[in-house]
Amino acid sequence: MTNRTKYLAAAGAAGLVIVVFAVWFLIFRDTAPPAASLEEAVGSVTSTTSAESSSGGSLDGTWTIDTTVGGGVLDDGSYVGYRVQEELATIGAKIAVGRTPVLSGSFEFTGTMLSSATIEADLRQLTSDDSRRDGAIRRQALESDTFPDGSFVLTAPVDLGTVPGAGESFTVQAAGDLTIHGVTRSVTVPINGQLVGDTVVVVGSIEITFADYDIEKPTAGIVLSVDDVGEMEFQLFLRRS
């Protein structure tokens, strides 16, 4: 084999590696953002107010969802979203994640109790890494063009045990009514929270069986299958009203 032949063979092999990597990076690579976690959410908060001065040793009062945290970066701000396994033609198994930052709601604390909580989300604004999926969800599945609102309303007070101090986290099981696709079900949502400066950070997720909410899986030529069960997840930043 001549030097020129060796060079061409090496160049061809290198080119093939680059093509394979590009295909993996653009098509097969898992682009799903990580699941909502308290550690990641706390890292998104920037505050110059001490926990002691902002809370006065108490969480008493109303704390409203703040949609300005994160500087416009969806995954760094307040959001409600879904996470579901799907299989696509030519791509294979993929975790689909969609999130909406268009939220409203509040949490009410009294002593060590979370006495009320309401989260409302505009599901028409759910955004994933594929606009075709987003359109299908608006027209099929969630049918958010017809049922634009999703909500969770706490139905029983929850005892935190103690009032969390600066940097202290809490975990509670929150019983409430979850409304999706015009259907309301009683659920219990595990919620993790932490006081960070002048912000209460709250995250949680719950498994959703689509049939329980009369949700039919979307159909499209590229979609081979979608799991019957997905997750509803949220990341919230609360500021005292």
Q: Are residues 9 and 58 in the same domain?
A: no
Q: Are residues 226 and 142 in the same domain?
A: yes
* pLDDT the model gives residue 10: 52
* pLDDT the model gives residue 208: 94
* pLDDT the model gives residue 226: 74
Q: Are residues 108 and 23 in the same domain?
A: no
Q: Are residues 2 and 112 in the same domain?
A: no
Q: Are residues 134 and 21 in the same domain?
A: no
* pLDDT the model gives residue 130: 87
* pLDDT the model gives residue 22: 35
Q: Are residues 163 and 209 in the same domain?
A: yes
* pLDDT the model gives residue 16: 47
* pLDDT the model gives residue 88: 59
The CATH number linked to 118 is 2.40.128.110
Q: Residue 55: which domain range?
A: 31-240
Q: Are residues 186 and 135 in the same domain?
A: yes
Q: Nearest to residue 59, comparing CAs of 6, 110, 119, 117?
A: 110
Q: Are residues 10 and 72 in the same domain?
A: no
Q: Are residues 169 and 90 in the same domain?
A: yes
92: left (phi over 0), alpha (psi -120 to 50) or beta: left
Mean pLDDT per 10-residue run, the chain (241 residues)?
56 45 40 89 66 63 94 89 80 85 97 97 95 89 96 97 89 97 98 94 96 84 72 96 90
Q: Are residues 49 and 95 in the same domain?
A: yes
Domain count for the chain, please give it: 2
Place of tokens 């979307």: 218
Q: Are residues 164 and 208 in the same domain?
A: yes
Alpha carbons 224 and 221: distance in angstroms, whole number: 8
The contacts of residue 111 (CB under 8 Å, 6+ apart) are: 58, 60, 163
Q: Are residues 9 and 73 in the same domain?
A: no
CA dihedral 16, 21, 27, 33 (to 10 degrees): 180
